[in-house]
Structure 1
Amino acid sequence: MKNVGTSPAGAAVEWAAEEPGSARQGAAPSAGDGRTRQLVARTVLEQGPVTAAGIAERLGLSPAAVRRHLDALVADGEAWIRESSSRGRRGRGRPAKLFLLTESGRARFGHAYDDLAVSALRFLAEQSGEQAIRSFAERRMAALVEHHREALAASGTVAERAQVLADALTREGYAASARTVGSGEQLCQHHCPVAHVAADFPQLCEAETEAFAEVLGTHVQRLATIANGDAACTTHVPHARSEDRTASRPETDHNAVASGSASRSPDRQDTAPSPHGGEPV
């Protein structure tokens, strides 16, 4: 007996349209397909491990239609298959295929990880102060870059290090890229796994920026962050080290002053520039 109480409104129409040989078979996925696939995925979430026949019975759909959606979920890495145990199985047929959701498939239904992380950090701040949040953020970034420190150290130029860092961040889930822009490199993170948490705790972004400066060996400037509503986290990495430029400037100025002093007559008074921008008066 079918459990029609859980069937969606209009399921019978979708069932008829999804039967083999129907006009819609092989067509691009429609909004109805998306709704049905979500129902199939939810049934696997709630009932799994479950067979295609079991899902079909629960939703009032044909087994063929359910298998089509299950195949799509498996192809997308959102579900996986295991064979039922031979224990208690009747007959000589092949073991039934049981479907379960993967972690990616469970993500369809959301997680409360961000809320949990924000609550935990707020509790930490209340109990131990804001410095505890900063220490946590610094330790988190130190652990992240430590896996890639050797590759970064082997890179010669700032541009090479920026690319190695972008590749490392991509492997950590940040979808990062690096490109030359003007006098430096622009490091972009197109995804941030902790953006919602960082919106409440900017210490995470601050620690990240400091870690970038440390591993790249130069001052960096954060231009934008996803946590602040920008499209990407963007960091400017200058080609020349800021401390090198600062150190060279006084020497250049000193030489210029010395040269100018030598060319002036000892008895000549310093004169102010004309307010009209012409020669000194």
Structure 2
Amino acid sequence: MLHPEELRNNGVVKYVRETTEGRETVETAAPQSTASSRDRVARSILDHGPSSAADLAERLCLTQAAVRRHLDALTAAGLVTSREQKVYGHRGRGRPARVFLLTDSGRSTFYQAYDQLAADALGFLAEAAGGGEKGREALAAFARARLARDAERYAGSLGECPDTEAKAQALAGALTADGYAATVRSAPLGEQLCQHHCPVAHIAEQFPQFCEAETELFSQLLGTHVQRLATIAHGDGVCTTFVPRAAPPPHQETSTTDDETAASGRNPA
């Protein structure tokens, strides 16, 4: 069975061979086609969110058969799971394709070991502030202060974007540069800003103030009320934020003078 650590430490293969002096263990380099490809499959799911075998094959320039072998190994190790693909709008014939997403164990292989240290520090901060509501307020203040250092840079990325879609696309680009692997897709009444990776998911799982502060920041940057639909911290495959489109300006009727009406050749009656 594949061990989670093998995603990052898979350059050596050990085998035992018989010699005239007895048995000996020999180490050789692992075939890169297997080790590195499996790591690339897991990384691609992390960066792009729930993906079908066909999506992964196209993205990584592998055959679907090879991708499925890697997915089977990752699933057996408890690093990947699957579900039916969500269909938006009209659903065609046949069963929906299955998509694969990382489990908590799979995501944990990409997180740094200092997650627990950060969680302990934040817990201490909450208790030092008095616990209870005061502790939660202290954590919220810290989360906002942490994001404030990025707010000006993100605002600069939005620049003079003319509409909601352009603003969401610019914000997604800025978030991607910071490791959030963000994309935008159109929805009937607005845009969905999707973050396929969250560097602080394990922390946000214990301290929701980080998700709340991020939602507030998005609302400020985009100039509209946004709604958080899903978060990786709560067990969803992707952090999804709905950004409503700005309503078109109301139609304004303009009055014309008799001279203007006559000049236009229209009948004032």
Alignment TM-score, normalising by the size of structure 1: 0.50
How much has 1:111 moved relative to structure 2? Answer: 3.6
1:155 is aligned to 2:200: no
Structure with more contact order per residue of length (Cα contacts < 8 Å, sep ≥ 6): 2
| 2:193 counterpart residue number | 187
- In the TM superposition, residue 15 of structure 1 has moved relative to its aligned partner by 7.0
**Residues of 1 paired with 2:159 and 2:147: CA distance?**
17
Aligned to 1:122: 123
1:143 matched to 2:149? The reply is yes
Cα pair distance change 1:236/1:127, threshold 3 Å: same
1:10-159 correspondence runs (5 A): 10=15, 12=17, 18=28, 28-29=33-34, 111-128=112-129, 129-159=135-165
Q: CA separation in 2, counterparts of 1:134 and 1:125?
A: 10
* Residues 10, 208 of structure 1: alpha-carbon distance in 2 compared, 3 angstrom cutoff: same
Q: Which moved more, 1:210-219 or 1:109-118?
A: 109-118
Alignment check: 8 A CA contact 2:111 2:199 kept: no
RMSD: 3.4
CA distance in 2, matches of 1:159, 1:109: 31
- Please tell me whether residue 176 in structure 1 is matched to residue 182 in structure 2: yes
Give structure 2 stretches of 5+ with no counterpart. Answer: 1-11, 19-23, 40-107, 130-134, 251-269
Cα displacement string for residues 160-209 of structure 1 (whole angstroms, at most 9, x for unaligned residues): 00000000000010000012111100000000000000000000000000
The CA deviation at 1:147 is 1.3
Provide the residue aligned with 2:172 in structure 1.
166
Superposed CA deviations along residues 39-72 of structure 1, whole A, max 9, x for unmatched, are xxxxxxxxxxxxxxxxxxxxxxxxxxxxxxxxxx
Q: What SS does the corresponding residue of 1:162 show, helix, strand or coil?
A: helix
Shift of 1:142: 1.6
Question: Identity of paired residues, percent?
Answer: 48
Relative to its length, the structure with more strand (as a share) is 2
Q: Counterpart of 1:239? A: 245
Deviation at 1:109, TM superposition (A): 9.6
**Segments ≥4 residues shifted beyond 6 Å:** 13-17, 107-110
Cα distance in 2 between the residues matched to 1:120 and 1:27: 40
Letter aligned with residue 140 of structure 2: R
Question: Which structure 2 residues correspond to residues 255-266 of structure 1 after superposition, within 5 A?
Answer: none
The alignment partner of 2:34 has SS state of coil
1:124 shift after superposition: 0.4
Aligned length: 159
The whole-number CA distance in structure 1 between the counterparts of 2:245 and 2:232 is 25
Does structure 1 retain, via aligned residues, the 8 Å contact 2:227–2:241? yes
State how far apart, in whole Å, the 1-side matches of 2:136 and 2:15 are: 54
Q: 1:109 and 1:224 mapped to 2: Cα distance?
A: 21
Further displaced range: 175-184 or 111-120 = 111-120
Letter in 2 for 1:112: A
TM-score (norm 2): 0.52
CA distance in 1, matches of 2:27, 2:123: 51
2:233 maps to which residue? 227
- Indicate the structure with greater helix content: 1
User: What's the offset of the Cα at 1:115?
Assistant: 0.4
- Compared with structure 1, are the counterparts of its residues 17 and 180 closer, same or farther at alpha carbon in structure 2 (3 Å cutoff)? same
Deviates more, 1:9-18 or 1:125-134: 9-18
Does structure 1 residue 209 correspond to structure 2 residue 210? no
Aligned to 1:80: none
- The structure whose Rg is larger is 1
Partner SS, residue 179 of structure 1 = strand
Give unpaired runs (5+ residues) of structure 1.
1-6, 20-24, 35-106, 249-281
- Structure 2 CA distance for partners of 1:8 and 1:212, relative to 1, 3 Å: closer
